Amino acid sequence: MITRSVGPNRRRNDIIWNAVAWLVLIMLALPAFWIIITAFRPNIEINTFPPVWIPRRLTLEAYANMFGLNPDVQQRVAVEAYLRNSLLAAGISTVVAVSLGTLAGYAFARFRFRFHTTLFLGIMLSRAVPGVALSLPLFLLFNRVGLVNNVLGLAIVYVAVNIPFTAWLMDGFFRQIPQELTESAYIDGCGHWSAFWRIELPLSLPGLATAAIFAFLAAWNEFQIVSVLARNNAAKTFPPGLFAFTEQFTVDWRGMAAMSVIMMIPAVIFVILVQRNLVSGLTFGAVKG
């Protein structure tokens, strides 16, 4: 912690530090708020010149158009399909990835075995493979087994892609649990599995929630693989859906902003829920061998 002695000089410095910090962070966050406001403004205010900086009127028009409540709008976005596919692909993959990643993370945190470092590094490096590079062979192979343009196929890929980070996070969380508990469980005659299942796993639930939300968001936001594997609305998720906006003749900026706001909802929940756990999970591995 930075120490702070008292004095008029210090006090003035404090005020300056606080003011600068607030200014910088408001500027950092401002673009995001601009997107949110745009989603609720009438189109005429958005496209007019000179620009209208402060909204005069708020409206739900963009959402009425999106969900087909406006009879004047012929071509509309398949937002229901995107929502369904996104929820399915992200939901299924999160459950599986967190289960498998937790098992692996526990083994790395608690046990000594051959190839410990090699396996850990190998798993982590699989995460470094760019999605574009992976999407090509997956397209060819999935094409043979009917998994192209298929939400289940997406879910399978997202499980594999999400395991490494989940394992890393869970390794960090498990190492924060005092080992005395497990040791006394062993003395009471617990096996490795029941020590894990009955004692350590319940204690790591906050960490598990963090890992789950992280995996969910990674799948929810993924673009590179889904844009190759999904051919139409049967499998397209939100990111390729948003991208499709830009391929139209005139770009509907407000429509894109409106969809962006829907896409952000899970992330907003994430920020509220797991701020603190995330930091300790990420950094614990740094200070421990």
Partner 1 sequence: MAANSNSADEKGAATRFVEVSRIEAGFFPFAMISPAVLLIILVIGFPLLYSLYVSFTPYELLKPNSLNFTTARALRNYQKLLNDEIFWRSLWNTILFLAVTVNLSYALSLALSQLLARVTVGQSLLRTLLMVPMMFAPILVGFQFRWFFNANVGLVNNLLISLGLIQEQGQIAWLVDVPLGMITIIIASIWMNIPVITIILLAGTLSLPSETFEAAEVDGASGWQKFRFITFPLLAPFSYIALTIMSLDIARAFDIVRIMTDGGPARRTEMLWTYITRLAIEDTKFGLGSAMAWITVILSVLFTLYFFRQLVRARIVR
SS3 75: coil
**What's the longest Cα–Cα distance across the chain?**
76
Residue 244 found at the interface with partner 1 (CB under 8 A): no
Site string for partner 1, 133-172 (x = CB under 8 A): xx-xxx-xx--------------xx-xxx-xxx-x-----
**Identified binder of partner 1 from the candidate list 90, 151, 229, 278, rule CB under 8 A:** 278
Q: Determine the 3-state secondary structure of 68 from DSSP.
A: coil
Measured CA to CA, the distance from residue 9 to residue 13 in angstroms comes to 6
Residue for token digits 């980070």?
Answer: 165
Segment near partner 1 (CB under 8 A); pick from 56-64, 74-82, 204-212, 236-244: 236-244
Among 28-36, 62-70, 75-83, 202-210, which window interacts with partner 1 (CB under 8 A)?
A: 28-36
| Residues 71-130, interacting with partner 1 (CB under 8 A) | 100-101, 103-104, 106-113, 116, 119, 121-130
What is d(CA 161, CA 171) in angstroms, rounded to the nearest whole number?
A: 17
Least CB distance from residue 59 to partner 1, whole Å? 19
CB-count burial class (<10 Å; 0-12, 13-18, 19+) for 180: exposed
Among 58, 152, 181, 268, binds partner 1 (CB under 8 A): 268
Angle subtended at Cα 176 by Cα 175 and Cα 180, rounded to the nearest 5 degrees:
85
| Choice between 69 and 269, CB closer to partner 1 | 269
Please pick, from the candidates 193, 202, 232, 249, the single residue that binds partner 1 as defined by CB under 8 A.
193
Question: Quick one: 79 or 256, whose CB is closer to partner 1?
Answer: 256
What's the closest the beta carbon of residue 9 comes to partner 1, in angstroms? Answer: 12
The C-alpha torsion from 34 through 40 and 42 to 47, rounded to 10°, is 20
CB count, 10 Å around CB of 80? 12
